């Protein structure tokens, strides 16, 4: 029986020498791989009480939406600045070479709601940390962060130590 990691395509020396790029599109292109990925992420939520699933653009949408549907939970979009049509709250964060900004609709999280954040990858943790701060700004509580893949060598989990973090696949390197 195949595991979800068997569907990940690893591309050496991309985008630069010494890096192994872990491509999730090969998971999406195979119905069995996609099922294993969604089921693996959803299994991380067993026994957890929460109200809302939020996903970061764009792969957090891909993986978070089916789980929200399966568990009959609302889904909240965390998008790049300027992509949401109604009143928003925003948070800036640092990237390796520069900065970025993400937003959520101001009414997307109600005070006291328990929120699960889902994304495809935890690397340095900057994007998901900014998403968590947005949830908290709106009065929500991040009860768990779930990722399909983790690049442990980039130490994102350390940055997120105040949150419960779980990944389906963990790679030791970067």
| pLDDT reading at 174 higher than 80 | no
**Residues annotated catalytic, as ranges:** 59, 96
Q: Is the pTM of this model over 0.75?
A: yes
Q: What is the pLDDT of residues 25-84, one digit of tens each?
A: 999 999 999 999 999 999 999 999 999 999 999 999 999 999 999 999 999 999 999 999
Q: Give the neighbor-by-neighbor strand order of the sheet with 165-171.
A: 88-95, 98-105, 75-80, 52-56, 114-122, 141-151, 165-171
Distance CA 124, CA 117 (A): 16
């Amino acid at each position: 029986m195949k595991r979800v990691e068997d569907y990940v395509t690893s591309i050496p020396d991309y985008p630069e020498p010494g890096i192994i790029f872990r491509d999730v599109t090969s998971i999406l292109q195979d119905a069995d791989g996609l099922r294993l990925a969604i089921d693996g992420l959803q299994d991380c939520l067993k026994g957890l009480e929460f109200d809302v699933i939020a996903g970061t653009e764009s792969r957090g949408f891909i993986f978070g939406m089916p789980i929200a549907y399966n568990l009959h939970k609302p889904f909240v979009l965390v998008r790049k600045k300027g992509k949401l049509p109604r009143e928003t709250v925003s948070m800036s964060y640092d990237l390796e070479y520069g900065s970025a900004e993400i937003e959520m609709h101001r009414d997307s999280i109600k005070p006291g709601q328990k929120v699960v954040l889902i994304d495809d990858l935890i690397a340095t943790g900057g994007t998901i940390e900014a998403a968590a701060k947005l949830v908290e700004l709106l009065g929500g509580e991040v009860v768990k962060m779930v990722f399909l893949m983790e690049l442990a060598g980039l130490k994102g989990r350390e940055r997120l130590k105040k949150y419960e973090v779980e990944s389906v696949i963990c790679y030791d390197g970067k």
